[in-house]
Amino acid sequence: MTVLDTLGRPLRDLRISVTDRCNFRCPYCMPKEVFGPHFTFLHRDELLTFEELARLARIFVRHGVEKVRLTGGEPLLRRDVERLVAQLAAIEGLDDIALTTNGSLLTREKARALKDAGLRRITISLDSLDDAVFRAMNDVDFPLARVLDAIDVAADAGLAPVKIDAVVKRGMNEADVLALARRYRGSGHIVRFIEYMDVGNTNRWRAEDVVSGREILETLRREWALVPAEPNYFGEVAERWLYADGAGEVGIITSVTQPFCGSCARARLSASGEMYLCLFAGTGYDLRKLLRGGAGDDEISSVIAQLWRARDDRYSELRSEETAATQKVEMSHIGG
């Protein structure tokens, strides 16, 4: 049964964070000075089990969810995550299972295991093709070559086309826009450029650090002819642009300068079982308490429906200096 929020937006996508831990310390997500060696992450018993996550996903499907994306933190830090993929793949009505990763742990064997379990698509984060810049942006001195290999093994495992996400921050990696587009143009993979966003309260976001989607598009168009493409589905966040010569496509995600709140159909589930209605939300609703308190599926289903029907979030449309300073959940807690 499709459920609509106060602005008429359906619930279609569910993002599931399987861990709040990550082995990178990207400044725009998990800055080292905050998430250092003494930071307290969730204990194992606080994480939802794979069975609990699959149970919740099955209930979300009742309300119209068709797509699930596994995120983190870094989801491949969760041992045997392919077992969760297999459980999700068995849910009737769930048409698409994807995963977002930094690629650091994506071996050939892991990619094949994920594909065999039912993973349909994979997105790999790659902010620069300059090894020095890449190491600075992940802030753990992780080499670029390992992530480039991960893209190849994902494709070899049948998880193509790979989506390659690059957060563009002024003064750091805007020079990589053309390099990334050039490397993967004609490969069948899709590079998506993301405006630097004010997610959470630890990334020291400033509006002047945002390279707008229009700037990114102008940069690309100086090199190639591009034509706009229609969204693949309602609620798709990336503007799609096709190379006029047929060499594939690129995407641009403009949450800051051209918000897409009006078509947002996503709910988010943290690794500890909190349901969030917006990437920029300050608080979530504790579904773990219901799960472990003996609530039946119908009771949990009713709560999810009530939360979604009351939803009126549109942070990006309202963004201002005041809202940017409000308390928000960290992206590492609920995924991007």
Which of the four pLDDT bands, split at 50, 70 and 90, describes residue 322? Answer: low
For residue 320, the model assigns a pLDDT of 65
Q: Nearest-CA neighbor of 100 among 215, 191, 16? A: 16
232 part of a folded domain: yes
Q: What pLDDT score was predicted for residue 207?
A: 81
Rounded average pLDDT over 11-16 = 97
- As a whole number, the mean pLDDT across the chain is 93
Instruction: Indicate whether 3 belongs to any domain.
Output: no
* 202 is a domain residue: yes
User: Is residue 27 domain-resident?
Assistant: yes
Q: What is the C-alpha to C-alpha distance for residues 171 and 161, in angstroms, rounded to an integer?
A: 30
Environment class of 290 (CB within 10 Å of its CB; exposed 0-12, middle 13-18, buried 19+): middle
Residue bearing the bigger pLDDT, 316 or 16? 16
Residues forming beta bridges with residue 70, ordered by sequence position: 16, 99
Assign residue 135 the CATH number of its domain.
Answer: 3.20.20.70
Distance (Å, rounded) from C-alpha 109 to C-alpha 106?
A: 8
- Domain membership flag for residue 244: yes
Domain of residue 33: give its range. 13-331
Q: Which amino acid is at 6?
A: T
Q: For residue range 85-118, list pLDDT tens digits in order.
A: 999 999 999 999 999 999 999 999 999 999 999 9
Task: Tell me if 8 is assigned to some domain.
Answer: no
Q: What mean pLDDT comes out for the span 36-53?
A: 95
Range with the lowest mean pLDDT among 37-46, 61-70, 212-221, 317-326?
A: 317-326
| In-domain check, residue 1 | no
Number of domains in the chain: 1
Reported as a single tens digit per residue, the pLDDT across 148-181 is: 999 999 999 999 999 999 999 999 999 999 999 9
Q: Which residues 6+ apart lie within 8 Å of 224 measured at CB?
A: 181, 185, 243, 244, 245, 247
In a domain, 2, yes or no: no
> String of b and e for 168-181 (b: at least 16 CB within 10 Å)?
bbeebbbebbbebb
| pLDDT score, position 323 | 66
| CB distance 140 to 149 below 8 Å | no
H, E, C per residue of the chain: CCCECCCCCECCEEEEECCCCCCCCCCCCCCCCCCCCCCCCCCHHHCCCHHHHHHHHHHHHHCCCCEEEEECCCHHHCCCHHHHHHHHHCCCCCCEEEEEECCCCCCHHHHHHHHHHCCCEEEEECCCCCHHHHHHHHCCCCCHHHHHHHHHHHHHCCCCCCEEEEEEECCCCCCHHHHHHHHHCCCCCEEEEEECCCCCCCCCCCHHHECCHHHHHHHHHCCCCEEEECCCCCCCCCEEEEECCCCCEEEEECCCCCCCHHHCCEEEECCCCEEECCCCCCCCEEHHHHHHCCCCHHHHHHHHHHHHHCCCCCHHHHCCHHHHCCCCCCHHHHCC
